């Protein structure tokens, strides 16, 4: 057991390391833009996640031959192989990985290496039990899973620096290694041990400077929770009643996200110093909201993420995956990205998750990523594992290596991408519409969920889906993003706002933009404290409304009636609007507030603000709202699309590359208004384009 002095020294060393790495990473910032195709020698990045350590070496050559035949030119390796690389503390063995790379490189296949810190070896836990994270009940996790480490453990940080430094040094000049993936899916767990408590207290002190400022910001006078020493500040661990000060809880979410970012920075600094010239990325998780990706991804050369459409219930409902792509792209200023883990088969751990997809869907889902700005696709995984937790998680191949229908679909796409790489290079997904994602609001709703059925991500998706059904692309922005290029910004349930964001939104609207707000907007300040202004607080003047009453959903029926007499079922929450300068666009039809406005439209400067005080139950209602927004903002809507069919576009030199994707099991027809050329077949397509089931057409002007 460590003494008190040893613990304090270790904490100081840990903090010093993190501070140095954060500062150095900022000094060596990555380039603002990154071309994935150039990075891969002029080839579209097309690959598989491969685990040669799981298979006899005689299998490696056969694998490489099959990969090359399928158009594979890229693999990710090593992200769970720490014990294979460092079987004994300080003794490294990369010979096996060198041999695997040699086989792959001979067949034209380059690699990104994963730093293996997501899965520390058993010997490390045995020597340093306190590298394991502690849950909110004060119990340390045990060895046997992955990513259950404490980010503030000095022993774990030292081990991280050692293994990453060894890898970076060994492969710094290897021509077949073109980049690094840091760790794997950073996010969980949240740790509640003494290291993390001391680090949180230090984080609070750096932010607030004085206890007086912290106590004021958090409103600690409530329940007499005023702190007289920094060491008194707790973590939001288990308490009687289970509720913590929302201000403390939001700052702790920020602290946890910052800790993930700082850990990524620590590794990025080592890699940039010891392995210069090789690109650095990380595999994010799309709509996962445990971290702020716009901050986490800042030190990276490009964004990558793990895309599993089969986690949805309806395989033809493409909007959730599309939003994931666009959020990932938006997390780094709409720079093109790659998918580091693309669905390659049916997922599962102890059970299979979902039903099997038609083989063509794996190709369609990969093309969807391309349509949304991906310049790299890497399928998870090459072959289904025979061992461990993921025996039920299918790869492109099953355990017998038979070239099945999934392999044939991957091979078809590999040939097609080689054919159209020149067309794709330099093209980007662009849009006049942006969806504003607020990490602070997301976290605040986790802390206080509002009502039972509220879901912030569903709010995002409802608006996103309506624009996508109208064939309008959507970019994702964050509070610090540049808003100037957009005509419409949709900011659903913008619960937590600070003065800087309010000023940016006001400027956007005054200069001609259209802003869409929805219920529970402007309620909290940046400290998660409820405003003392009439709702929607600092957004009220812009919206032209005042909210003096609201009705939380308690399973009652409610609806809005618009100006054309059409009724729209509503749910979850009902803001009752009093109009100041806005006009009503829909009124409630039931309850004591029947006839009162539930949605409004206000002119503010040269622009407009729409406020929707409820959540609508039908997708058609949001489609009608998008039509009205398009008219107000001067947007051109695309063609009407059948359900389960997506039209997406990339642009290059003012010209559009259209992707028409059919996720359904039946042929579908879309009217595009003109004949176009199918670049996959070289043939002309009529204005009425027919797309076979589970198929894709890539179209350009002839």
Dump the DSSP string for 535-550. Answer: BTGGGHHHHTEEEEEE
Which domain CATH number covers 475? 3.40.50.880
SS (H, E, C) 583-636: EEEEEECCCCCCCCEEEEEEEECCEEEEEECCEECCHHHHHHHHHHHHHHHCCC
Do 527 and 249 touch, CB atoms closer than 8 A?
A: no
**Catalytic annotation, residues:** 185, 341
> Omega of the bond prior to 536 within 30 degrees of 0, cis?
yes
- 627 shares its domain with 652: no
- 585 shares its domain with 690: no
Task: Kindly state the percentage of the chain with pLDDT values over 90.
Answer: 91
| In-domain check, residue 444 | yes
pLDDT digits (tens, 9 = 90+) for 100-117: 999 999 999 999 999 999
User: Given the DSSP bridges, would you call strands 597-604 and 607-612 parallel, antiparallel or unpaired?
Assistant: antiparallel
Do 330 and 363 touch, CB atoms closer than 8 A?
A: no
| Higher pLDDT, residue 524 or 27 | 524
pLDDT at 255 over 50: yes
Q: Please say which residue of 600, 633, 666 terminates a domain.
A: 633
Give residue 32's pLDDT.
Answer: 57
pLDDT digits (tens, 9 = 90+) for 182-198: 999 999 999 999 999 99
Query: Which tokens in the block code for residue 276?
Result: 């210069």
d(CA 204, CA 233): 9
Give residue 241's pLDDT.
Answer: 75
Question: How far lies 575's CA from each of 455, 514, 519, 549, 555, in Å?
Answer: 17, 21, 6, 7, 16
Query: Which tokens in the block code for residue 69?
Result: 């035949």
pLDDT digits (tens, 9 = 90+) for 581-628: 999 999 999 999 999 999 999 999 999 999 999 999 999 999 999 999
- 577 shares its domain with 478: yes
- 555 shares its domain with 684: no
| In-domain check, residue 108 | no
- 519 shares its domain with 480: yes
> Omega of the bond prior to 189 within 30 degrees of 0, cis?
yes
Give residue 315's pLDDT.
Answer: 84
Who's near 223: CB < 8 A, 6+ residues apart?
none
d(CA 621, CA 581): 25
Burial of 89 (0-12, 13-18, 19+ CB in 10 A): exposed
User: Given the DSSP bridges, would you call strands 177-181 and 110-114 parallel, antiparallel or unpaired?
Assistant: parallel
pLDDT at 491 over 80: yes
- 516 shares its domain with 549: yes
Do 169 and 85 touch, CB atoms closer than 8 A?
A: no
Query: Hunting for tokens 């912290």 — which residue is that?
Result: 214
- 493 shares its domain with 535: yes
d(CA 600, CA 581): 10
Compute the residue count for the chain: 702
Give residue 6's pLDDT.
Answer: 40
Among 472, 436, 433, CA closest to 456: 436
Q: Please say which residue of 598, 633, 668 terminates a domain.
A: 633
Q: Return the SS3 of 408.
A: helix
Q: Across residues 77-86, what is the average pLDDT?
A: 98
| In-domain check, residue 77 | no
Task: Render the burial of 657-690: b for 16+ CB within 10 Å, e for the rest.
Answer: bbbbbbbbeeebebebeeebebbbeeeebeeebe
pLDDT digits (tens, 9 = 90+) for 337-391: 999 999 999 999 999 988 899 999 999 999 999 999 999 999 999 999 999 999 9
- 629 shares its domain with 657: no
pLDDT digits (tens, 9 = 90+) for 668-679: 999 999 999 999
| In-domain check, residue 406 | no
| In-domain check, residue 625 | yes
Split at pLDDT 50, 70, 90, the class of 152 is very high
pLDDT at 14 over 70: no
- 493 shares its domain with 554: yes
Residue 412: φ, ψ to 5°: -60, -45
Instruction: Point out which residues pair with 659 in neighbouring strands.
Output: 648, 698
Q: Across residues 680-701, what is the average pLDDT?
A: 97
pLDDT at 500 over 50: yes
d(CA 28, CA 25): 5
pLDDT at 297 over 50: yes
Range of the domain at 680: 645-700
Split at pLDDT 50, 70, 90, the class of 304 is very high
pLDDT at 5 over 60: no
| Higher pLDDT, residue 242 or 258 | 258
Helical axes 456-469 vs 319-330, angle rounded to 10°: 100
What's the chain's average pLDDT? 94
Query: Hunting for tokens 């050692």 — which residue is that?
Result: 162
| In-domain check, residue 462 | yes
Split at pLDDT 50, 70, 90, the class of 9 is very low
Give residue 310's pLDDT.
Answer: 86
Which domain CATH number covers 650? 2.60.40.1180
Task: Kindly state the percentage of the chain with pLDDT values over 70.
Answer: 95
Among 189, 47, 157, 61, CA closest to 113: 47
Query: Hunting for tokens 């009205």 — which residue is that?
Result: 628
| In-domain check, residue 187 | no
pTM of the model: 0.94
| In-domain check, residue 456 | yes
What is the count of structural domains for the chain? 2
- 581 shares its domain with 682: no
- 488 shares its domain with 587: yes
- 551 shares its domain with 598: yes
Give residue 94's pLDDT.
Answer: 98
Split at pLDDT 50, 70, 90, the class of 23 is very low
Q: Please say which residue of 589, 607, 633 terminates a domain.
A: 633
Among 506, 585, 588, 578, CA closest to 545: 578
């Amino acid at each position: 057991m460590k003494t008190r002095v040893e613990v304090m020294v270790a904490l100081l060393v840990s903090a010093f390391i993190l501070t140095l790495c954060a500062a150095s990473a900022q000094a060596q910032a990555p380039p603002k833009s990154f071309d994935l195709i150039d990075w891969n020698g002029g080839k579209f990045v097309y690959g598989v996640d491969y685990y040669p350590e799981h298979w006899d070496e005689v299998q490696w050559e056969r694998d490489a031959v099959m990969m090359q035949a399928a158009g594979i030119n890229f693999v990710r390796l090593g992200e769970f192989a720490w014990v294979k690389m460092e079987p004994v503390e300080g003794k490294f063995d990369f010979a096996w990985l060198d041999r695997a790379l040699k086989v792959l490189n001979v067949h034209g296949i380059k690699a990104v290496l994963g730093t293996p810190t997501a899965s520390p070896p058993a010997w490390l836990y045995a020597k340093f039990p306190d590298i394991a994270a502690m849950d909110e009940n004060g119990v340390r996790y045990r060895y046997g899973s992955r990513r259950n480490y404490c980010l503030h453990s000095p022993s774990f940080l030292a081990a991280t620096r050692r293994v990453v430094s060894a890898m970076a040094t060994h492969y710094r000049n290897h021509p077949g290694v073109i980049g690094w993936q840091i760790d794997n899916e950073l996010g969980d767990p949240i740790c509640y041990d003494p290291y993390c408590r001391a680090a949180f207290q230090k984080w609070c002190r750096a932010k607030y400077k004085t206890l007086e400022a912290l106590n004021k910001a958090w409103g600690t006078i409530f329940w007499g929770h005023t702190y007289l020493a920094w060491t008194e500040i707790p973590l939001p661990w288990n308490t009687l009643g289970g509720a913590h000060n929302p201000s403390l809880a939001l700052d702790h979410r920020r602290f946890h996200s910052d800790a993930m970012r700082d850990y990524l920075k620590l590794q990025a600094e080592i890699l940039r110093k010891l392995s210069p010239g090789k690109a650095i990325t990380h595999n994010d998780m799309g709509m996962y909201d445990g971290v702020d990706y716009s901050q986490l991804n800042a030190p990276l050369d490009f964004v990558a993420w793990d895309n599993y459409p089969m986690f949805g219930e309806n395989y033809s409902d493409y909007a959730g995956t599309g939003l994931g792509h666009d959020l990932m792209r938006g997390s780094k200023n709409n720079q093109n990205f790659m998918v580091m883990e693309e669905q390659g088969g049916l997922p599962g751990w102890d059970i299979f998750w979902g039903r099997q997809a038609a083989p063509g869907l794996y190709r369609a889902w990969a093309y969807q990523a391309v349509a949304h700005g991906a310049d790299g696709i890497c399928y998870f995984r090459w072959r289904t594992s025979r061992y461990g937790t993921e025996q039920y998680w299918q790869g492109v191949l099953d355990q017998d290596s038979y070239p099945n229908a999934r392999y044939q679909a991957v091979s078809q796409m590999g040939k097609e991408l080689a054919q159209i790489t020149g067309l794709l290079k330099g093209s980007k997904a662009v849009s006049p519409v942006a969806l504003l994602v607020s990490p602070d609001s997301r976290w605040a709703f986790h802390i206080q969920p509002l009502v039972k059925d509220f879901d912030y991500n569903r709010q995002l998706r409802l608006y996103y889906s309506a624009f996508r059904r109208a064939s309008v692309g959507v970019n994702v922005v964050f509070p610090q993003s540049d808003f100037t290029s957009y005509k419409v910004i949709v900011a659903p349930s913008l619960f937590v706002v600070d003065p800087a964001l309010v000023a940016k939104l006001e400027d956007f609207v005054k200069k001609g933009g259209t802003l869409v707000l929805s219920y529970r907007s402007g309620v909290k300040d940046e400290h998660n404290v409820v405003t003392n202004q009439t709702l929607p607080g600092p957004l009220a003047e812009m919206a032209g409304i005042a909210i003096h009453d609201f009705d939380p959903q308690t399973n009652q029926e409610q609806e809005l009636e618009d100006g054309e007499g059409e009724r729209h079922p509503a749910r979850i929450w009902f803001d009752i609007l009093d109009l100041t300068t806005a006009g009503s666009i829909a009124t409630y039809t039931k309850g004591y507030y029947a006839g009162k406005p539930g949605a409004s439209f206000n002119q503010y400067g040269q622009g407009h603000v729409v406020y929707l005080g409820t959540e609508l139950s039908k997708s058609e209602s949001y489609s009608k709202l998008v039509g009205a927004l398009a008219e107000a903002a001067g947007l051109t809507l695309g063609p009407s699309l059948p359900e389960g069919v997506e039209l997406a576009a990339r642009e290059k030199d003012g010209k559009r590359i259209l992707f028409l994707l059919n996720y359904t099991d039946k042929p579908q027809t879309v009217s595009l208004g003109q004949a176009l050329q199918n670049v996959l077949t070289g043939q002309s397509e009529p204005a009425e384009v027919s797309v076979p089931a589970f198929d894709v057409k890539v179209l350009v002007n002839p």
